[in-house]
Chains A and B, each alone.
Chain A
Amino acid sequence: MSKLIVGPFNRVEGDLEVQIETADGVVEKAWVVSPMYRGFEQILHGKDPRDALIYTPRICGICSVSQSIATADALARAGGVERPKNGELALNLIHACENLADHFTHFYLFFMPDFARDIYRDESWFSPVAERFKAVRGRAAPDVMQARAEFMHLMGIMAGKWPHTLGIQPGGSTRSIETKEKVRLLSILGGFRRFLEQRLFNAPLEQMLEIGDQQQLEDWLAAGDPAQSDFRRLLQLSRDLHLDQLGKTDGRFMSYGVYPLEGARTFRAGLWYQGVAGELDTTGITEDISHSWMEGQAEPQHPFQGVTLPSGDPDKGYSWCKAPRLDGEVVEVGALARQLIDGQPLVNDLVQRSGSNVRNRVIARLLEMPRVLIEMEQWVRQLKPSEPYCSDSRTMREAEGVGLTEAARGSLGHWVRIKHGRILNYQIIAPTTWNFSPRDQQGISGPLEQALIGAPVRQGEREPVAVQHIVRSFDPCMVCTVH
């Protein structure tokens, strides 16, 4: 038995340390540590509720729009504000742009460079992978940055800037889109589509969505050249390295659903466990602080009642992260959960066969890009320049509201209580808080701690590469986790 402290992790957003105990070349126990705390929930106490729109996007620079959407939704709910259809479309476009840019950045700049590490130099695919994906020096990186920056011009037009826009308001978007801008938005989406079709998939986006099960995916892999398609390259090395056996959780999934339009969500909300889809009731959400550096009531609390107060006692727990649970159970969130619950056929087949693992998480993320980009093209076409984009927001004296949405990496919730026109309590549960939660009162580990069990550690490995793949397959956002 030996213990390793692995950190700092890079190519994730924020700060992370993982402690593992290994025996016989595999991980036996794991502790996930979030070593940074800033105190947004404390900072928000006593503020004018509208000011939350300034603070919460600054929880995170990679999913700042998701934080804004959650705040705007919570305030809209608290104030009974309805959005015009243009406002819903505009907010969906801004949110989707962030989420897709996030998937794109994660795959090319965060996840793939690990396969270009020297530890894989004997693999048959190593030399083209190293040439294309090597961190900083790989051929893909500059092209990816250029494509990402050009895609983000959508933010310049619709949101003023990214990150940290203030254009997302309870009543909709502060930026009305004119006819001339609609066509420019379409050309920006067309540019991004071209990159995905030429380099990522080497196939039309519509064709990618027709792949309905694992067999068809294998047939599609065999029918083309991995040198021309980064997705094929991923499938090839996933097969060779058995990434479908790495980083398994017990596979209880949750999604809040996302991209609301005229009373429905484009991705539906729900729960999924062992092949059975269920309705989601968020009144069963609690946060447990038994293993966190936090003060408060011993019993887990629903976020409307919960508090976030740091403890001065370093021995009290092992992470600044709390342990959220749904009806007392651990759930995994993310693109895999979102698409599974929404009924995506290929994702459903992959999960039925091999559950939740490194390969399936990354495939789900990549296949979300064609699905959402096609929606974005439709949303732009539905914008009506002469009609309103924003309804009036109101000043609230006594109210409460919840905003539930999906960031790229999973379910994000904000719960706000307002008294005498000020924020009495504001609680946030971010996707990585679910996925990277520490143990709870029952000693049950969160999804990542579970997923690390059994990960191989090669002789003499100080930074086990399998641990790196598993961690990054969740695309963690640590600054959101602890806020």
Chain B
Amino acid sequence: MINQTLGQQAGFNLLWLQSGGCGGCSLSLLNAESPNLLHTLEGAGINLLWHPMLSEETGSEMVRILEAILAGEIRLDALCFEGAVMRGPNDTGRFHMLAGTGRSMLDWVQDLAAVAGYTLGIGTGASFGGITAGGGNPTDACGLQFAETERGGVLGEAYRSIRGLPVINVAGCPTHPNWITETLMQLALGEFSEADLDEWQRPRGYADHLVHHGCPRNEFYEFKASAEEHSQLGCMMEHMGCLGTQAHADCNTRLWNGEGSCLRGGYACINCTAPGFQEPGHPFQETPKFAGIPIGLPTDMPKAWFVALASLSKAATPNRLRQNAVSDHIVVPPQTRKKGRHE
């Protein structure tokens, strides 16, 4: 039974739907800790109207919640939509029908977004299309308000939610649990405005940082001491396709699953918070180069300066870094100062 008074209750009502993604952002959300997800939501006064993994209501019970929202009986403060929206085949949306309803998710999301206080695209799929829009995009997948870098999506460029914001793109593949919970908490507190969104409508709380910040391989980067194979310790920008200097996210200062990040796990950043990341135009784990110089240099540094500094720092690379960069564990430890040592 739907609580008839829920629409009038204090608190912040959240509905979560999934479409053409992998469910990975929901699974990532369950990794929230200190406190756990349920206590985090409860503390922020956020009511889960329905979530596909957690809720009891199933089948027609769930459809009744959607109908009550559309009828204005339940106030929808935040619509969290996970995964790309699939428009195909031939704009029918039939590649994803909401089970039990005979209606496409394309239709459902357009109706629900029209009554939502805020609409959030959860993950890069819902934000821009993401992986599902890769290859030849066989399902004609796109995001809620973007088709890759192009504004529009299924809700249209002019879309504003009831409280006046465009779609908030909590992009990432998957997205970090705290990127979601912190955005929701800010919305529930009324402390989030359009100025808190970057040019791709991502929350600036995490998107104003670069993955490069806090990378444990920064010393290798400084001296351009590069890894050449997987599992080696050196910087992965020169040969391994790492985009950490260009990717907007705080992965290396916020960390994942207690203490990880892609780079800490030994593999290159693929810039998964960005529109179009799934089609880089070259093998992901190779750095495209022109005349031996990587094409994708840090965006806010003049190329000539980068090349000049890189050749200088390469000439000055300490032996320790040169050797460790191509090893899978530390073979040359930092030296201790001999001055003042006790005999």
Contact = CB atoms under 8 A, between A and B. Distances in A.
B49 to A, nearest CB: 11
B334 interface: no
B230 to A, nearest CB: 5
A103 to B, nearest CB: 14
Contact of B256 (A58, A110, A156): A156
B60 A58 contact: no
A462 interface: yes
Contacts of B134: 43, 55
19 contacts: A8-B62, A8-B63, A9-B58, A15-B18, A37-B139, A38-B141, A39-B139, A43-B136, A48-B283, A105-B30, A143-B36, A145-B32, A149-B31, A160-B263, A160-B264, A166-B267, A173-B231, A174-B265, A175-B265
Contacts of A172: 231
A6 interface: yes
A159 B33 CA distance: 19
Contacts of B340: none
A45 B24 CA distance: 23
A38 B56 contact: no
A46 interface: yes
Given A61-B22, A152-B257, A11 B135 contact: no
B265 A58 contact: no
A179 to B, nearest CB: 10
Interface string B20-36: 11111111101111011
Residue among B22, B263, B283 with the highest chain A CB neighbour number at 10 A = B22
Contacts of B99: 7-9, 15-17, 33, 35
Interface in B139-183: 139, 141, 173-174
Interface in A148-168: 148-150, 152-167
Interface in B26-73: 26-28, 30-33, 35-39, 48, 50, 52-63
Nearest to A158: B265
Interface string B58-90: 111111000000000000000000000010011
B317 interface: no
A178 interface: yes
Nearest to B100: A7
Interface in A403-453: none
Nearest to A465: B58
Chain B interface category by residue count: 35 or more
A160 B256 contact: yes
Nearest to B136: A42
A53 B36 CA distance: 31
Interface stretch (A192-200, A204-212, A248-256, A384-392): A384-392
B62 A10 contact: yes
Interface string A26-49: 000000010111110011111110
Given A38-B20, A62-B27, A479-B23, A145 B38 contact: yes
Contacts of B35: 142, 146
Given A39-B138, A160-B262, 6 more contacts: A8-B101, A153-B259, A161-B251, A162-B257, A178-B329, A312-B90
B208 interface: no
A152 B31 contact: yes
A174 B266 contact: yes
B97 interface: yes
A43 B60 CA distance: 34
Interface string A359-401: 0000000000000000000000000011011101100000000
Nearest to A90: B231
Contact of A8 (B27, B98, B135, B257): B98
B298 interface: no
Contact of A176 (B48, B53, B266): B266
Given A388-B231, A389-B231, A146 B33 contact: yes
Contact of A38 (B139, B255, B258): B139
A3 B78 CA distance: 35
Interface in A295-353: 310, 312, 314
Interface stretch (A133-141, A220-228, A261-269, A270-278): A133-141
B204 interface: no
B95 A38 contact: yes
A233 B33 CA distance: 27
Contacts of A167: 265-267
Residue among A45, A113, A156 with the highest chain B CB neighbour number at 10 A = A156
> Lowest 5 CB-CB distances: which A-B pairs, in order?
A160-B265, A61-B24, A7-B99, A7-B100, A156-B257
Residue among A58, A117, A167, A310 with the highest chain B CB neighbour number at 10 A = A58
Given A156-B259, A161-B261, A174-B265, A135 B26 contact: no
Contact of A7 (B39, B59, B267, B270): B59
A365 B324 CA distance: 43
B201 interface: no
Nearest to A480: B22
Contacts of B21: 61, 479
A58 B95 contact: no
A171 B54 contact: no
A164 B60 CA distance: 33
Contact of A142 (B18, B36, B135): B36
Contacts of A113: 56
A175 B216 CA distance: 13
A51 B262 CA distance: 16
B343 to A, nearest CB: 29
Contacts of B132: 38-39, 43
A58 B131 contact: yes
Given A10-B58, A42-B135, A161 B97 contact: no
B194 interface: no
A5 interface: yes
A133 B199 CA distance: 43
Contacts of B258: 149-150, 152-153, 156-157
B94 interface: yes
Contact of A171 (B48, B53, B230, B283): B230
B219 interface: no
B268 interface: yes
A48 B229 CA distance: 17
A456 interface: no
Contact of A148 (B30, B48, B61, B267): B30
Given A54-B270, A175-B266, A392 B229 contact: yes
Nearest to A105: B30
B314 interface: no
B268 to A, nearest CB: 7
Given A13-B23, A14-B23, A61-B24, A36 B230 contact: no
B263 A146 contact: no
Interface in A59-107: 59-62, 64, 105
A157 B131 contact: no
